[in-house]
């Protein structure tokens, strides 16, 4: 009987590791969460006030891009551009919309022919998008975030 009692006492003392608690650090949880976080995608794309009633993430993105293109086309149509050769080029506008809804064109990429034929194209594009309606910034996890986009713009002049 003493042996059985002794054995149970030793067994209970040695099995105390089962009751040990591991300390969890908030930094470790945060680091683990950040590793699984998709930084290249947002929950909601930036939108203009006119697109706010549109439902669906992709539909809002399309509405935003179409609104930008319409504003651009409308403002560029006011200018008479004369070229010596036909131009059919896709100009890439790299834009940033910060977490306050401010719009900035970071870069404009076009072909050498387009640059030679329309040297003022960069300034025309920038001035065409100077006065935009209110933009609501992109949202990621219920926070306004800065987002970057590439907007292709087709330039076709015959």
- Domain span at residue 150 reads 47-157
**In this predicted model, what pLDDT tens digit does every residue of 117-143 receive, in sequence order?**
888 989 988 888 888 899 999 988 888
Q: What CATH code is carried by the domain that includes residue 78?
A: 3.30.1150
Please give the C-alpha separations between residue 147 and each of 9, 64, 66, in angstroms, as whole numbers: 63, 13, 17
- SS3 (DSSP) at 106: strand
Give the pLDDT score at 22. Answer: 63
CA distance 131 to 127: 8
For residues 30 and 60, which has the higher predicted lDDT (pLDDT)? 60
For residues 8 and 65, which has the higher predicted lDDT (pLDDT)? 65
Does 23 map to a domain?
no
The pair of structure tokens assigned to 73 is: 């086309």
Does 123 map to a domain?
yes
Does 15 map to a domain?
no
Give the pLDDT score at 53. Answer: 80
For residues 20 and 78, which has the higher predicted lDDT (pLDDT)? 78
Tell me: pLDDT of 19 over 60.
no
**Residue 109, C-beta contacts closer than 8 angstroms, at least 6 positions apart:** 91, 92, 94
Please give the C-alpha separations between residue 143 and each of 33, 34, 98, 99, in angstroms, as whole numbers: 16, 15, 12, 9
Does 11 map to a domain?
no
Give the pLDDT score at 10. Answer: 63
**In this predicted model, what pLDDT tens digit does every residue of 72-123 receive, in sequence order?**
888 888 888 787 888 888 999 999 999 999 999 999 999 898 888 888 989 9
Does 143 map to a domain?
yes
How many distinct structural domains can be found in the chain?
1
Average pLDDT, the chain: 81
Does 81 map to a domain?
yes
Does 21 map to a domain?
no
Q: What value does the CA radius of gyration of the chain take, rounded to a whole number of Å?
A: 29
Does 120 map to a domain?
yes
Give the pLDDT score at 146. Answer: 92
């Amino acid at each position: 009987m003493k042996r059985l009692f002794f054995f149970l006492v030793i067994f209970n003392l040695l099995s105390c590791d089962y009751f040990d608690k591991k300390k969890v650090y908030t930094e470790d949880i945060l680091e683990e969460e950040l590793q699984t976080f998709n930084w290249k995608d947002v929950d909601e794309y930036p939108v203009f006030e006119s697109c706010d009633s549109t439902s669906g993430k992709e539909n809002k993105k399309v509405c935003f891009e179409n609104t930008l293109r319409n504003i651009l086309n409308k403002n560029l149509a006011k200018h008479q551009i004369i070229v010596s050769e036909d131009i059919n080029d896709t100009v890439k506008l790299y834009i940033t919309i910060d977490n306050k809804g401010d719009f900035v064109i970071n870069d404009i990429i076009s072909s050498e022919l387009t640059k030679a034929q329309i040297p003022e194209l960069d300034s025309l594009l920038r001035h065409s998008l100077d006065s935009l309606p209110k933009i609501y910034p992109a949202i990621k996890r219920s926070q306004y975030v800065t987002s970057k986009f590439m907007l292709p713009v087709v330039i076709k002049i015959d």
